[in-house]
Amino acid sequence: MLRIKCPWCGERDETEFRYRGDASRSRPDASAGADEDAAMAAFISYVYERANPRGWHQEWWLHVGGCRRLLRLMRDTQSHEIRSVTAAMGR
């Protein structure tokens, strides 16, 4: 059982949260430049490719059973240690 320290609600069980995947990627800029192939490649990578690290992983967790805020976690995928929990947009 993971225990996640929500910045708003305090330490809660993982069952209150919904996992939302890798948070290290950012949406490519669709309007950038005229190179359609490069933009397409960037989007394919954004949608489908994952680093899938064995170790520290930046990930989204949605606190559906609590404050309903989206959180950004740094968690180890082998030990399950959680190093940081922050709001999606900082704080």
Using CB under 8 A as the criterion, which residues of the chain lie in contact with other proteins when the complex forms?
1-2, 13-15, 19, 21-22, 44-45, 47-52, 54, 57, 59, 75, 77-80
User: Rounded to the nearest 10 degrees, how much is the dihedral formed by the CA atoms of 71, 62, 53, 47?
Assistant: -110
1 or 89: CB nearest other proteins: 1
Based on CB atoms, which residue is closest to other proteins, 8 or 46? 46
CB 83 within 8 A of CB 76: yes
Angle subtended at Cα 83 by Cα 62 and Cα 80, rounded to the nearest 5 degrees: 75
Comparing CB distances to other proteins, the nearer of 14 and 35 is 14
